[in-house]
């Protein structure tokens, strides 16, 4: 291969995983790597395990849950593990063989047990492990299988699941689980054990930790490095994506500040990360969509075009006037309620959720700021305390432990020792976590009846799985209560605009906007109408003068117009800050009428 190849593509093993905090460019790095390997004569399969996959958008193809050739890149195929398709196929594998053999009521009972979001996750995981172990020779003809994974917290869970399920199957004695009837478990047990072996073999698997040159993303890969090394994934590389080249001069304060901020973050990364093989990928003037753009990602030279934009031009002026303060005013008018910030990983949901919460608390309202994102760190973003503001995190492990203890204390109270032991073992299923997180989320929704609750959600795909659990619960309650029963479920509160405001957060780039638009469509199908949009970290709103940043700023205007004119009921645009918006003061400035530069 060419000498210019990044180090992580030097003698790559068969399996390569790309992971990192949302929005760092995992998909771009994975797609560009797949193209580079294919053009070197290798047969490559690119697999997305992210429920909110955008691999198809990058290549301009409809991919889905079947291996699909990428016509413009000979030797390259792609596959998106679609959660719903995987769940449907998984249910049919379980139910199909016994349909017609068991009574209809029992078939209906099994189907109902396999209808929730827990089964959806297991089915996606089942697809993932089948690619690692390849029992049906689906991927036997590929030299390399590259995995573009979900954001870090969920990737860690995905990679830990083979071991978790193997342990559960070794010790569980329940008559059934969300894996399906016991008759099929032996085959799955062997497959999961094979997946564990493949993941922990450095000769077969390499992990690429993708970050941006900022404090949060680099801290995230440091945590990921330790957690995955602990389960045997020790062959790791680091890619720092989108690094701003040294500006030619200091005439643009924004470019100078961003460069210095990134260099300081790189210099401050921990010793464990410094010791790993590392590639720096420079920021490019165009978005990584299409083969032409992907082919330039690993180039060491950046070509920019001199552009001139009048900051008084109507489009730029409208960007600058779209204030987050206007959205906060409208939220405050109701006096209480639930605000949920949703969107693609890395678009700044945590920052926007914290800024809204800080603004409301400063106005004297009681506010509970919480997160459902395993990779979010609200306390780091706030970096301080504020009157009227309570901060929490729906921690999957803590929620699971609380749920297990409650079930054992209630359902298990009247069981004998053997029955309690069986129940305790069944509660060790990894699927218990999904139920526990949903119940914690439901409690938060209920709390919003008397105060403001602001939720920083997990990245798009996993938020949809949580909402799917909410919908499943609603349907079950409706079935039990019948037509004449009166009830209010969490889904009904989410559907009520007087109680819930969904804020979609995006960047002014093609893929995040497309994904947020897709999320909006999914929410509408569930009867939930998004309330507003926030376009975060906008270069167009910050009016840079450096050529590279200027070129990217001009490209943003079309996307901002799309959001404002075609997608959003109401919209705010947040300019890229000179320094990272961390701390109460900086977050408060984001929601001011005319935000001052955060320095």
CA distance 566 to 409: 52
Helix extents (H) in 172-214: 185-199
Catalytic residue among 19, 20, 22, 23: 23
Average pLDDT value for residue range 355-369:
95
* Exposure of 199 in the CB half-sphere (CA atoms within 13 A): 26
Please list, in sequence order, all residues whose beta carbon lies within 8 angstroms of the beta carbon of residue 16, skipping any fewer than 6 positions away.
Answer: 8, 33, 144, 145, 146, 147, 205, 206, 207, 208
Residue 402 pLDDT > 90: no
Q: Which of 511, 538, 583, 588 is catalytic?
A: 511
Query: What is the location of CATH 3.40.50.300 in the chain?
Result: 7-294, 314-396+446-590
pLDDT at 162 over 50: no
pLDDT band at 163 (very low <50, low <70, confident <90, very high): very low
pLDDT given at position 113: 63
Active site residue 82: no
- Kindly name the residue from 22, 25, 242, 345 that is annotated as catalytic: 25
Domain 314-396+446-590 has CATH 3.90.1150.10: no
What is the pLDDT confidence band of residue 255, given thresholds at 50, 70 and 90?
A: very high
CATH classification for the domain delimited by 7-294, as one of 3.30.465.10, 1.10.10.10, 3.40.50.300, 3.10.20.340: 3.40.50.300
- Integer Cα distance of 150 and 52 in angstroms: 8
Assess whether pLDDT exceeds 80 at residue 505.
Answer: yes
Q: How many other β-carbons are positioned within 10 Å of the β-carbon of residue 339? A: 26
50 as an active site residue: the answer is yes
The mean per-residue pLDDT over the stretch 316-342 comes to 83
DSSP secondary structure string for all residues of 458-496 = PPHHHHHHHHHHHHHHHHHHHHHH-TT-----HHHHHH-
Strand stretches in 205-277, DSSP E = 205-212, 236-243
Choose, from 21, 22, 49, 50, the residue flagged as catalytic: 50
E-assigned strand segments in 13-115: 15-19, 44-48, 68-69, 76-80
Q: Which of 19, 28, 129, 400 is catalytic?
A: 28
Q: Which residue has the higher pLDDT, 384 or 110?
A: 384
Q: Is 152 one of the annotated active-site residues of the chain?
A: no
CA distances from 331 to 95, 360, 390 (A): 47, 9, 18
In 3D, which of 407, 356, 425, 416 has the Cα closest to residue 386?
356
Q: What is the C-alpha separation between 368 and 394, in angstroms, rounded?
A: 12
Residue 362's pLDDT is what?
A: 94
pLDDT 10s digits, 544-582: 889 889 888 988 998 999 999 999 999 999 998 887 888
| CA–CA separation, 421 and 417 (whole Å) | 6
* pLDDT at residue 393 greater than cutoff 70: yes
- Tell me, yes or no, if 21 is annotated catalytic: no
Between CA 324 and CA 311 the distance in angstroms is 20
Q: With beta carbons less than 8 A apart as the criterion, state whether 129 and 162 touch.
A: yes
Give me the catalytic one of 20, 22, 26, 48: 26
Specify the residue for token string 């008397």.
450
The CB-side HSE value for 458 (13 A sphere, CA atoms) comes to: 27
d(CA 202, CA 206): 6
148 catalytic? Reply is no
β-bridge mates for residue 341, sequence order: 456, 503
- Return the CA Rg of the chain: 24
Residue 156 has pLDDT above 50, yes or no: no
From CA 353, how far away is CA 359, in angstroms rounded? Answer: 10
Q: Among candidates 195, 202, 270, 266, which has minimal Cα distance to 236?
A: 202
Is pLDDT larger for residue 300 or for residue 10? 10
516-549 tens-digit pLDDT: 888 888 888 878 899 999 999 999 988 888 988 9
CA–CA distance, 371 with 394 (Å, rounded to integer)? 6
Give the range among 4-18, 183-197, 457-471 with minimum mean pLDDT: 457-471
pLDDT category at 467 given cuts 50, 70, 90 is: low
* Whether 155 is catalytic: no
Nearest to 136 by CA among 79, 57, 191, 75: 191
Bridge-based pairing of strands 176-177 and 180-181 is: antiparallel
Q: What is the pLDDT of residue 43?
A: 96
Report the alpha-carbon distance of residue 364 to residue 359 in Å, rounded. Answer: 9
Work out the percent of the chain whose per-residue pLDDT is above 90.
25
The pLDDT of residue 536: 93
Establish whether 184 is a catalytic residue.
no
CA 365 – CA 384 distance, rounded (Å)? 18
Q: Which residues, including other chains, have CB under 8 Å from residue 485's CB and lie 6 or more apart?
A: none
Quick one: tokens of 113?
């047990």
| CA–CA separation, 471 and 474 (whole Å) | 5
Residue 145 DSSP SS3: strand
pLDDT level of residue 19 (50, 70, 90 thresholds)? confident
Helix axes 510-525, 460-481, angle to 10 degrees: 0
3-class secondary structure, 415: coil
Average pLDDT score, the chain: 78
Phi-psi region of 280 (alpha: psi -120 to 50; beta: other; left: phi over 0): beta
178 vs 85: which has the higher pLDDT: 85
Mean pLDDT of 66-85: 84
Residue with tokens 């799917």: 468
């Amino acid at each position: 291969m060419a000498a210019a190849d990044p180090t992580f593509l030097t003698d790559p093993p068969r399996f390569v995983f790309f992971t990192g905090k949302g929005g760092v460019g995992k998909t771009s790095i994975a797609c560009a790597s797949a193209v580079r390997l294919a053009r070197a004569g290798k047969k490559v399969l690119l697999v997305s395990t992210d429920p909110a996959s955008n691999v198809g958008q990058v290549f301009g193809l409809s991919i889905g849950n079947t291996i699909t050739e990428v016509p413009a890149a000979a030797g390259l195929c792609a596959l998106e593990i679609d959660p719903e398709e995987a769940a449907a196929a998984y249910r049919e594998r379980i139910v199909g063989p016994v349909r017609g053999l068991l009574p209809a009521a029992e078939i209906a009972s099994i189907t109902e047990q396999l209808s929730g979001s827990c089964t959806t996750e297991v089915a996606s995981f089942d697809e993932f492990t089948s690619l690692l172990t390849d029992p049906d020779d689906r991927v036997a003809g590929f030299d390399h299988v590259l995995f573009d994974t979900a954001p870090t917290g969920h990737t860690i869970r995905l990679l830990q699941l083979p071991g978790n399920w193997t342990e559960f199957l070794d010790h569980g004695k329940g008559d059934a689980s969300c894996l399906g009837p016991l008759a099929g478990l032996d085959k799955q047990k062997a497959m999961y054990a094979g997946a564990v072996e493949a993941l922990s073999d450095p000769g077969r698997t390499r992990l690429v930790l993708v970050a941006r040159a900022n404090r949060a993303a680099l801290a995230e890969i440091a945590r990921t490095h330790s957690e995955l090394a602990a389960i045997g994934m020790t062959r790791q590389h680091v890619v720092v994506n989108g690094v701003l080249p040294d500006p030619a001069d200091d005439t643009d304060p924004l470019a100078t500040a961003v460069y210095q901020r990134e260099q300081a973050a790189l210099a401050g990364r921990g010793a464990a990360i410094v010791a790993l093989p590392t590639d720096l990928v420079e920021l490019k003037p165009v978005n990584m969509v299409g083969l032409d753009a992907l082919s330039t990602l690993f180039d060491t030279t950046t070509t920019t075009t001199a552009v001139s934009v009048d900051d008084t031009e109507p489009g730029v002026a409208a960007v600058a006037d779209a204030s987050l303060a206007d959205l906060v005013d409208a939220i405050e008018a109701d006096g209480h309620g639930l605000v949920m910030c949703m969107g693609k990983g890395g678009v700044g949901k945590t920052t926007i959720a914290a800024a809204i919460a800080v603004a409301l608390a400063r106005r004297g309202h009681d506010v509970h700021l919480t997160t459902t994102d395993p990779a979010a760190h609200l306390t780091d973003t706030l970096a301080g305390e504020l009157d009227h503001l309570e901060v929490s995190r729906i921690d999957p492990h803590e929620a699971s432990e609380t749920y297990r203890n409650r079930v054992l204390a209630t359902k298990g109270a009247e069981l004998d020792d053997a029955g309690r032991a069986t129940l305790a073992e069944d509660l060790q299923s990894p699927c218990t976590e999904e139920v526990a997180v949903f119940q914690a989320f439901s409690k938060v929704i209920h709390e919003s009846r008397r105060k403001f609750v602001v939720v920083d959600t997990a990245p798009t795909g996993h938020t949809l799985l949580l909402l799917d659990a909410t919908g499943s619960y609603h349907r079950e309650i409706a079935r039990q209560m019948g037509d004449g029963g009166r009830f209010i479920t969490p889904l009904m509160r989410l559907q009520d605009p007087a109680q819930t405001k969904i804020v979609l957060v995006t960047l002014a780039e093609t893929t995040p906007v497309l994904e947020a638009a897709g999320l909006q469509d999914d929410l509408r199908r569930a009867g939930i109408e998004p309330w507003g949009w926030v376009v975060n970290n906008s270069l167009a709103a910050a009016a840079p003068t450096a050529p590279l940043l200027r070129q990217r700023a001009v490209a943003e205007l079309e996307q901002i117009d799309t959001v404002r004119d075609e997608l959003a009921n109401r919209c705010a645009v947040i300019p890229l800050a000179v320094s990272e918006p961390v701390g109460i003061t900086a977050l408060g400035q984001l929601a001011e009428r005319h935000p001052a530069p955060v320095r």
